[in-house]
Amino acid sequence: MSKKNKKTKNFFLSILNVPFTLLMNAIDLIMWPIQKIIGVRRMPYIFLIPNLIFFGLFVIIPLGVNLLFSITGGTELFISNREFSGARHYQNIFDCKSYFDPNSCSEDYFWRGVFNTIFFVVFQVGLMIFFSLLTAVILNKKIIGRGFFRSVFFFPVLLSPVVVGLIWQWILLKNGILNAFIESNGGSKMSFLTEPGLAMTSSIFVSIWAHMGFYTLIVLAGLQAIPPNLYEAAEMDGTSRERIFFRITLPLLMPNLLVVFILASIKGVQTFDEIYVLTGGGPGTSTSLIVQYIYTTGFAAAGQVQNFGLAAAASMVLGVVLFILTLIQLYLGRDKENKQHEI
């Protein structure tokens, strides 16, 4: 680069830096007196205040309102107009002769949603981790069109869950694209969305298809962070590929896989949109998850009075369970990391 071009580049960069410099000087004028008063060590709390305000407005306050709804009854939207009911909604939820038999519970739809959610999460998360790991390992290799395939696998993540549900509904309907293909090859039509077992299987598959790209990126980032010299040393010792994977790759990926497990579990329990569009929770209640129960109880109970209090109580129960599971998973993850550091 010539001296003239270099001077021109520096000139334009200095012009572009002027607004940024002015902004930083203005912030410095505001922060300097505050720093003098509270000291340097307490300054990080000042920068945390906007986040704390945002968190309070959109998390803590709605959580408190939800708790108030769960201990009040009636159809009114304003808390002041609702009657205090105490723990009545929670008692209705847990009023069961046997928790393993939803038909013996006062809120049988809630417990059907619980068992459907457990079944869904166990298989969805397990298969999600397996396929994300498999895909990440393949995409980490030097293959032709690696960048293209990474984009293809991530593309479904960018789609709205409603769009995902509609796309796969058109494909899996009785007269959909997949059945047309099966029929054209001499097969018989399958009830992917109207037979209970197939409907749940289809829901799990669609959910994995929609979200796998995000978790694949997390695992892929972990693979790329593994030092190449570990693989080189293992190859020089004549270690087999299988042994390298199970002795080097998998142990070093455990922190990433733990993150994937936590995020996928929480996301799995919260699943609603794509399954609601895909199957509507049917046939019957075979694909109705706990979040759909909360939605239908509070907002869309056909032919029934909207029960905001019961829906709020169910959501509080779900929130507590998720919080406990997250704490357990984080504790186990931290304990494992500490043991690795000790080794």
Is 132 part of any domain?
yes
Is 149 part of any domain?
yes
Is 93 part of any domain?
no
Greater confidence (318 vs 1) lies with 318
CA angle 137, 246, 257 (to 5 degrees): 60
Residues 61 and 121 in one domain: no
Render 46-96 in DSSP notation, one character per residue. Answer: HHHHHHHHHHIIIIIHHHHHHHHHHTEESS-SSGGGSEE-TTHHHHHHT-B
pLDDT of 340 reads 57
pLDDT of 167 reads 93
Is 225 part of any domain?
yes
Residues 189 and 296 in one domain: yes
Give the mean pLDDT of 71-84.
Answer: 86
Residues 18 and 136 in one domain: no
Residues 206 and 296 in one domain: yes
Give the mean pLDDT of 119-145.
Answer: 91
Residues 254 and 112 in one domain: yes
- Choose one of 44, 72, 100: the last residue of a domain: 72
What does the pLDDT look like over 159-170, one tens digit per residue? Answer: 999 999 999 999
Is 304 part of any domain?
yes
The runs of H, that is alpha helices, within the chain are 3-38, 43-55, 61-70, 88-93, 108-139, 146-158, 161-172, 177-184, 196-224, 228-236, 241-244, 250-269, 273-278, 290-298, 308-342
Q: How far is it, in rounded angstroms, from Cα 146 to Cα 138?
A: 9
Residues 228 and 308 in one domain: yes
Residues 50 and 199 in one domain: no
> What is the maximum alpha-carbon separation in the chain?
86
pLDDT at residue 43 tops 60:
yes
Greater confidence (43 vs 4) lies with 43
The radius of gyration of the chain from alpha carbons, rounded to an integer in Å, stands at: 27
Coil, helix or strand for 117?
A: helix
Contact in structure between 83 and 89 (CB atoms under 8 Å)? no
Q: How far is it, in rounded angstroms, from Cα 168 to Cα 206?
A: 7
Provide the token pair at 277: 């569009």
Greater confidence (305 vs 119) lies with 119
Is 235 part of any domain?
yes
pLDDT of 342 reads 54
Is 85 part of any domain?
no
pLDDT at residue 258 tops 90:
no
- How much of the chain, in percent, has pLDDT values that exceed 70? 91
- Choose one of 72, 92, 124: the last residue of a domain: 72
Here the CATH number for the domain that contains residue 113 is 1.10.3720.10
- How much of the chain, in percent, has pLDDT values that exceed 90? 31
CA angle 328, 332, 338 (to 5 degrees): 145
pLDDT at residue 102 tops 80:
yes
pLDDT of 6 reads 63
What does the pLDDT look like over 141-191, one tens digit per residue? Answer: 888 877 888 888 888 888 999 999 999 999 999 888 998 989 988 888 898
What does the pLDDT look like over 3-40, one tens digit per residue? Answer: 556 666 666 667 767 777 777 777 778 778 877 788 77
pLDDT of 129 reads 94
Phi, psi of 160, rounded to the nearest 5 degrees: -65, 140
pLDDT at residue 133 tops 90:
yes
Is 78 part of any domain?
no
Confidence of residue 51 (pLDDT cuts 50, 70, 90): confident
Give the mean pLDDT of 270-297.
Answer: 91
Residues 172 and 318 in one domain: yes
Q: Under the phi-then-psi rule, with left for phi > 0, alpha for psi from -120 to 50, and beta for the rest, what region is 288?
A: beta
pLDDT of 341 reads 57
pLDDT of 262 reads 86
Residues 273 and 208 in one domain: yes
- 302: domain range? 108-342
Query: The pTM is what?
Result: 0.83
Q: How far is it, in rounded angstroms, from Cα 319 to Cα 28?
A: 41
CA angle 206, 212, 214 (to 5 degrees): 135
